[in-house]
Amino acid sequence: MTNLIQVEQLYRYYGEQCAVNDVNFSLERGEILGFLGPNGAGKTTTMQMICGNLAPTAGLIFINGIDILDQPKEAKRELGYLPEVPPVYKELSTFEFLKYCAKLHRLPNGKIAKAVDNAMERCGLSEVGSRLIGNLSKGYQQRVGIAQAILHNPAVIILDEPTVGLDPIQIREIRELIRELGKEHGIILSTHILPEIQEVCTRVQIIHQGRLVLNDSIEGLERNMRALSVLLKTASAPNLVKLYNIKGILSIEDMGENRYRIFHEKDSNPAAAIAETVVSEGLGLLELTPEKRSMEQIFIEITQHNPEPKEMIIQ
């Protein structure tokens, strides 16, 4: 895999306020990185610095091996960017707008037509090339925005809330497009839609109070979503003392009607022992289900219950 973004010891101060505090991460080719954070967490500031729109107070940013502070023009050629509101001119046709964008990217005249055709094909716009952008649906306008971001075949594509305001069918189409683009580029996806991270991304990081508090693969995140509890339901009331004697069980919450929430240690999985105890006692095992936390619960836990955040990398 090729390292396309390298961020090292990144800081940004506004007066005495530290908006970004010692942020370090990388992005490889083929990765789709979901970037999350509550309002005011430093996410937008970090994105602006990566795009070269804001100078860091301290730290290093390399885009495809190019230092964006020493060689900003060269580094920015490796970036494609789609802001939350697509920067399209609605009075132009799709082809006219993308041709204009190709000139802004300073593509050679002999390569513009091919680059525009390629971007339209990849984004599913070939059939609407002659139509005015203002007459396209919002989903297609979003596709045009993505097409302008990939015209010059950048190494890195940065997408800011690419599915906001779209209907479910359009959302599915844009997500599929992002997955396809992720095979050839490195993508940073900034979004507030938590299920989108699980649907599209290969990795996720959360920034809180200027610091990265989570940096993990989607597989690792899903392991972390497995709560440290199981739900038990029996036909007859169990002897809780015998359940407490099972190794790894921390506490038992009586939920009424012979239903119990059993909390256990992180590295313990007492489900088999619980089932064996219930069956041997002849209590009638009706349910034994591991609970699963939602990504929303994890996000809230990390961003609201960590007054002193520190980087947490879950293996």
The pLDDT assigned to 291 comes to 82
CA dist 48 and 21 (Å) reads: 15
Position 305 scores a pLDDT of 58
Q: What percent of the chain has a predicted confidence (pLDDT) above 70?
A: 95
Q: How many CB atoms lie within 10 A of CB 291?
A: 14
Q: What is the mean pLDDT of residues 251-280?
A: 91
pLDDT at position 218 is 87
Q: Other C-beta atoms within 10 Å of 195: how many?
A: 12
pLDDT of 11 strictly over 90? yes
Q: How many residues does the chain have?
A: 315
The whole-number pLDDT of residue 1 equals: 55
Q: Is the pLDDT of residue 311 over 50?
A: no
Measured CA to CA, the distance from residue 233 to residue 261 in angstroms comes to 9
- Report DSSP letters for 158-202, one per residue: EEESTTTT--HHHHHHHHHHHHHHTTTSEEEEE-S-HHHHHHH-S
- Digit-coded pLDDT (tens) for 106-131: 999 999 999 999 999 999 999 999 99
Residue 307 has pLDDT above 70, yes or no: no
* pLDDT score of 293: 73
Q: Residue 58: left if φ>0, alpha if ψ -120 to 50, beta else—which one?
A: beta
Looking at residues 94-105, what average pLDDT do you find?
96
Question: What percentage of the chain carries pLDDT values higher than 90?
Answer: 71
Q: Are 180 and 281 in contact (CB under 8 A)?
A: no
CA distance 274 to 154: 54
- Span 34-91, pLDDT tens digits: 999 888 889 989 999 999 999 999 999 999 999 999 999 999 999 999 988 888 999 9
pLDDT band at 306 (very low <50, low <70, confident <90, very high): low
Q: Phi/psi at 233 (nearest 5 deg)?
A: -135, 130
Indicate whether 235 pLDDT > 90: yes
Task: Tell me which of 121-125, 215-219, 255-259, 265-269 is least confident.
Answer: 265-269
At residue 250, the 3 state secondary structure works out as strand
Cα separation, 207 vs 37, in Å, equals 5
The pLDDT confidence band at residue 201, using thresholds 50, 70 and 90, is: very high
pLDDT at 194: 83
Whether the pLDDT of residue 309 is over 60: the answer is: no
Is 31 or 304 the better-scoring residue by pLDDT? 31
On average, the pLDDT of the chain sits at 89
Phi-psi domain of 27 (left: phi exceeds 0; alpha: psi -120 through 50; beta: other): beta
Domains and CATH numbers, the chain: 3-222 (3.40.50.300), 227-292 (3.30.70.100)
CB 143 within 8 A of CB 162: no
What lies within 8 Å, CB to CB, of 234 at 6+ separation is 258, 278, 283, 284, 285, 286
Residues in CB range of 280: below 8 A, 6 or more apart: none
Residue 304's pLDDT band, with cuts at 50, 70 and 90, is: confident
> Quick one: pLDDT at residue 221?
80
Confidence of residue 312 (pLDDT cuts 50, 70, 90): very low
